[in-house]
Amino acid sequence: MGKTWRIALAQLSVVDGERGANLAKMEAALQQASDESADLLVLPELNLTGLVEKEQMKALAEPRNGKSFQHIQKLVKTYPVSVLYSFPEYVSDEEMYITSCLVGKDGKALAYYRKTHLFTDESTVFKRGNEWTKVSLGDVTIGLLTCYDIEFPEPARKLALQGVHLLIVNSANMAPYEYIHRLFIQARALENQLFVGYCNRIGSNEKYDYHGQSAIVGPDGKILSEIAEDLEEIRLVDISLENIKKSKEVFNYLADRRCELYSKE
Q: Where are the domains of the chain?
A: 4-262
Taking alpha carbons only, the member of 201, 169, 174 closest to residue 186 is: 169
State the pLDDT at residue 158: 97
- Stretch 139-164: mean pLDDT: 98
Active-site position among 62, 89, 147, 199: 147
Active-site position among 45, 62, 89, 226: 45
Report residue 265's pLDDT band, with 50, 70 and 90 as the boundaries. Answer: low
Report residue 212's pLDDT band, with 50, 70 and 90 as the boundaries. Answer: very high
Whether 259 is catalytic: no
Whether 55 is catalytic: no
Report residue 56's pLDDT band, with 50, 70 and 90 as the boundaries. Answer: very high
Cα–Cα distance, 200 to 169 (Å, whole number):
8
State the pLDDT at residue 108: 97
Active-site position among 62, 115, 199, 226: 115
State the pLDDT at residue 263: 83
Q: What does pLDDT average to over the chain?
A: 96
Tell me the H-state helices in the chain. 19-35, 54-60, 67-78, 153-161, 178-192, 242-247, 259-262
Cα–Cα distance, 107 to 110 (Å, whole number):
9
Of all residues in the chain, the percent with pLDDT exceeding 70 is 99
Element (H, E) at 113: strand 109-114
Cα–Cα distance, 125 to 241 (Å, whole number):
39
- Cβ pair 239, 224 in contact under 8 A: yes
Whether 45 is catalytic: yes
- Cβ pair 247, 193 in contact under 8 A: yes
CATH of domain 4-262: 3.60.110.10
Q: What is the pLDDT of residues 242-263, one digit of tens each?
A: 999 999 999 999 999 999 998 8
